[in-house]
Amino acid sequence: MYGQRNSEKRPARTVSRRRFVQGLVAGGVIAGLDLWRWPAWVRGADNQQEILTGNQFALVVEQTAINFTGYRTHATTVNGSVPGPVLRWREGDTVTLSVTNRLSEMTSIHWHGIRTPANMDGVPGLSFPGIAPNETFVYQFPVRQSGTYWYHSHSHFQEQIGHYGPLIIDPLGKDPIEYDREYVVMLSDWTDEHPQTVFSNLKQQSDYYNFQQRTLGTFFSDVRKNGLGATLSERWMWNRMNMSPTDILDVSGATYTYLLNGQPPDANWTALFRPGERVRLRFINGSSMSIFDVRIPNLPMTVVQADGNAVEPVTVDEFRISVAETYDVIVQPQEESAYTIFAQAEDRTGYARGTLAPKTGMTAPVPPMDPRPLRTMVDMGMGHTSGMNMEKQSMKAETATASHEHGMDMGDTSSTHKSSMPEMQLGTETANSSPAKLRLSPEVDNIAEMPTERLSTAGEGFPPERRVLAYSDLRARYRGTDLRPPSREIELHLTGNMERFIWTFDGKLFSDAEPIRLTLGERVRIVLVNDSMMEHPIHLHGLWSELENGHGEFRPYKHTVNVKPGERLSYLVSADTPGHWAFHCHLLYHMEAGMFRTVIVS
């Protein structure tokens, strides 16, 4: 059992890895240094990250000894810490970042969500060749946006082993968000296993890190709840589909230690406040594979920014943050007491944790993890279901599986997609440039028969009494800058073979796929249909993804759009920056497994 394994882990030791402000003193990052921008409590606070400000930065990528789990090992770091230093830019500045590679392999830094010229985007093979050992590459570009972002390696698996850090951009004028203090809260996942080993394990056995199969005990409780017939047919169906309804995340707390600003849960990263203050928490999910559900028991959070862009304030108890997303929230603790920042992995196999407190050393209870979510028939892409039609669903499942086994063409399921999507109002003058004609194949083990619009839910696994942020809650604070309707539509299916750990767009591996071509200046609608049973945070480099979530011209601008299982959603893109751009799932091992395309704007 998982719980057993977890308790066998040695207690995390707090290691003084954080060489606070060391980079400022020793790293030669003196030119353009604007310490006045920072109030004393930020500069001096204990337990805070190194912060580099100004417009000139010297960054060094190197191997650094770390210890998150009780075992001493190495991380690939930026300036010697995990996460790397907070980079603080100002909108309107031109920033110069010299990145020196002290590894024995190639490296790179990608500025996630930042609108740079294509040759500054940091993706080896697309933007530039990468940074060779002992070489220094100088990035330079104007900063034309503000908000909370992050940076990370785009070279092989370096992101998993520590090569990431927060990136904050102050607006040129007054910040429209009012707050008295702010903290970066960067969540991530650490494993002592070599990421190549993790990937091989997943390739050989996709549920390698999932021990949460349902047992005989849960069978009997399901029978009591749902009756024997429904329980039998549901389980039979999942077996036929070669899936477990408990496969939520591919890599779990079985190997991961979840970090909050580079601190394991026991180290309890702590941020201070004075009661009554408005505290801005800048949440960044810098994980390789972990989606988190974040809450602060007894403290409502008001979401004010998503992926760096201001949204109309919305107050919630909890939000789900997918890999690579950022959310800024305001909290206003009134009591002279401590609060736990609790970020449980979506599969409930572990959590990251920190504390907000009026004094150092105070703690609040750490809540038990919620029950783990179960995948449902909606996730399966079979629409809404009830006990009544379970049998019918099972028959469909059997048909699909049988056809799969015999390699039969499932036929024109794409036409079903369209007719079954009355919720989506896909513009009038659009020509579908990529009619998806998918069939079951070694790369595609499922096709959503009835993908649904699911923007008004955060997904499964939340108790009903909690207010949980949904994508439909995100209304941009400012009207979009390009109000033209899209001139065409590109539909892409998020596909995979769970068992073989193959992940693709439209059933095609990156190596077999043609680039997606956009004409410079055109406005397009990207439609994503998730045929798989996993969530996929889809990240388009260089261009904004304006999520069509029912707010008209106030669509939120995102850089990463999480697509739930069985979901169909769309966003608009203005192809305003030429070049070769990466477009991929931000689950690191999904990207590596093939879920990646090149977008060429010319």
Interacting residues toward Cu ion by CB under 5 A: 536, 585, 587, 590
Compute CA distances 435 → 271, 377, 432, 493, 546, whole Å. 51, 25, 6, 10, 22
Residue among 585 and 601 whose Cβ is closer to Cu ion: 585
Q: To the nearest whole angstrom, how small is the minimum distance from the Cβ of residue 250 to Cu ion?
A: 9
SS3 state of residue 469: coil
Residue among 95 and 588 whose Cβ is closer to Cu ion: 588
Q: Which residue has the tokens 């699911």?
A: 454
Residue among 291 and 547 whose Cβ is closer to Cu ion: 291
Pair of tokens at residue 286: 């810098």
Residue among 261 and 560 whose Cβ is closer to Cu ion: 560
Compute CA distances 332 → 89, 277, 335, 525, 598, whole Å. 26, 6, 9, 39, 43
Rounded Cα gap, residues 260 and 266, in angstroms: 11
Residue among 258 and 589 whose Cβ is closer to Cu ion: 589
Q: To the nearest whole angstrom, how small is the minimum distance from the Cβ of residue 496 to Cu ion?
A: 8
8 Å CB contact between 353 and 335: no
Query: Count of alpha carbons within 13 Å of 126, Cβ hemisphere only?
Result: 26
Q: Give the ranges where 228-269 is alpha helix by DSSP (H).
A: 228-240
Q: To the nearest whole angstrom, how small is the minimum distance from the Cβ of residue 595 to Cu ion?
A: 5
Q: To the nearest whole angstrom, how small is the minimum distance from the Cβ of residue 592 to Cu ion?
A: 10
Q: To the nearest whole angstrom, how small is the minimum distance from the Cβ of residue 564 to Cu ion?
A: 12
Q: To the nearest whole angstrom, how small is the minimum distance from the Cβ of residue 104 to Cu ion?
A: 30
Rounded Cα gap, residues 576 and 557, in angstroms: 15
Residue among 404 and 584 whose Cβ is closer to Cu ion: 584
β-pair type (94-101, 56-66)? parallel
Residue among 23 and 195 whose Cβ is closer to Cu ion: 195
Q: To the nearest whole angstrom, how small is the minimum distance from the Cβ of residue 567 to Cu ion?
A: 13
Q: To the nearest whole angstrom, how small is the minimum distance from the Cβ of residue 503 to Cu ion?
A: 5
Compute CA distances 253 → 7, 500, 559, whole Å. 11, 21, 27
8 Å CB contact between 321 and 344: no
Q: To the nearest whole angstrom, how small is the minimum distance from the Cβ of residue 42 to Cu ion?
A: 36
Pair of tokens at residue 4: 């057993």
Residue among 316 and 587 whose Cβ is closer to Cu ion: 587
Residue among 43 and 500 whose Cβ is closer to Cu ion: 500
Residue among 330 and 529 whose Cβ is closer to Cu ion: 529
Q: Give the ranges where 59-214 is alpha helix by DSSP (H).
A: 195-204
| The dihedral formed by the CA atoms of 445, 449, 450 and 451, expressed in degrees to the nearest 10 | 30
Q: To the nearest whole angstrom, how small is the minimum distance from the Cβ of residue 539 to Cu ion?
A: 10
Rounded Cα gap, residues 269 and 52, in angstroms: 20
Contacts with 434 (C-beta within 8 Å, 6 or more apart), sequence order:
490, 491, 492, 506
Residue among 185 and 291 whose Cβ is closer to Cu ion: 291
Q: To the nearest whole angstrom, how small is the minimum distance from the Cβ of residue 533 to Cu ion?
A: 11
Which of 107, 19, 109, 106 shows the shortest CA–CA distance to 65?
Answer: 19
8 Å CB contact between 85 and 51: yes
Rounded Cα gap, residues 471 and 459, in angstroms: 10
CB atoms within 10 A of CB 473: 22
Q: To the nearest whole angstrom, how small is the minimum distance from the Cβ of residue 585 to Cu ion?
A: 3
Residue among 190 and 503 whose Cβ is closer to Cu ion: 503
Residue among 218 and 441 whose Cβ is closer to Cu ion: 441
Q: To the nearest whole angstrom, how small is the minimum distance from the Cβ of residue 328 to Cu ion?
A: 25
Which of 527, 377, 328, 550 shows the shortest CA–CA distance to 456?
Answer: 550
8 Å CB contact between 139 and 97: yes
